[in-house]
Structure formats: structure tokens, C-alpha cells
Amino acid sequence: MTENLFYFLASLTLLCALMVVISKNPVHSVLFLIITFFSISGHYILLNAQFLAAVNIIVYAGAIMVLFLFVIMFLNQSKGSMPEMKTSTLSKIAGTIAGGMLFVVMIAALKDASVAGLDADSYNSQIGMVENLGLILFRDYLLPFELASVLFLVAMVGAVMLGKKETGEQHF
């Protein structure tokens, strides 16, 4: 049952991710991206990482995708407002070569990978829960966590300073 659910979620994820790239309508691309994020959250639940699944749904499928959708709708780019862009044959060939090279690198990286089996003796069902995540985050990775929080604070202060309009200053 779990294996069938995994294959269903994997195929749904790949199909919707492909539709994000292929879709001509940007609103449809955003909706396919939301479905992709929900299916990735399903993978997290299968991996017993419920906290990560909830954060993925709240942050990515919720806040960020709503922001993308509002920006796309506010831009209101219809078919007539944008000139038709034509891609040259050289750029298509370069994109195909780059995608093929990425595929070769991925195959080379995964050729020696092995799937570990389930060891019932050492299995811990609480591994992805919030309490254990907090213990590991604040015990083993306290310094990187604090450095990331300082980095975010500096980024917020920088964004406020860049967005602040001085008296007499004009933005053209």
C-alpha cells in the first residue's frame, strides 16, 4: 500500500513539475506548482516527517504561492500586451545539450547508490517528530541556526534600508 502511494505521489510530482515548465499560462503554472508542493508534502509524510510536511504546506504552498499568484494577476499580461518571443535554433540546441549533461551527471551520481533496507531493530518511529527535530536543531546545530537567524536579521534590516524613502528623494 505504501509503495503504491509512493509511486502515485512520485508520478504526480513529476507530471505537475513538468506542467509548471510546459504551461503557457503563468496562472496555470503556479497552480501546478502548488500541486507539486502538496505532493512533495505527501512524500514527507511517507518519510515520517510530519513537521516538515506541515511547514512545506504552510510556507511554500500557502504563503509563497499566494504571493506568486497575486503578482502574476496584478501584472495582468495578456496575449496582446507581450510580443511573441522566438527562440533561435542555437538556443534550443544549447538547452538540449545542457539538459542532457545534467541528466548524465545525475545518472553518474546515482549509479553507485544503494537503497538501504528497513532494520526493524533500530527503527525509531519518532525520528521526524517536532520534539526530536528541536533537540537535534538546538543541540547539534545551534551555531548554524544562530548564524542563519543573524543573516535573516541583517537581510531584513537591509531590505528596510533599501526600501526607505528619504525626504526629498525621488524614485523615477
In Å, how far from its chain's centre is CA 29? 14
| pLDDT given for residue 168 in this prediction | 65
Mean pLDDT of 20-26: 88
Instruction: Grade residue 51 by pLDDT with cuts at 50, 70 and 90.
Output: confident
Q: What is the pLDDT of residues 75-118, one digit of tens each?
A: 766 555 556 667 788 988 999 999 999 999 999 998 888 877 77
Mean pLDDT of 139-167: 83
| pLDDT given for residue 74 in this prediction | 75
Instruction: Retrieve residue 62's grid coordinates.
Output: 500557502
Instruction: Grade residue 44 by pLDDT with cuts at 50, 70 and 90.
Output: very high
In Å, how far from its chain's centre is CA 107? 22
Instruction: Grade residue 59 by pLDDT with cuts at 50, 70 and 90.
Output: confident
End-to-end Cα separation, the chain, in angstroms: 60
| pLDDT given for residue 115 in this prediction | 76
Question: Residue 147: pLDDT above 70?
Answer: yes
Mean pLDDT of 22-33: 87
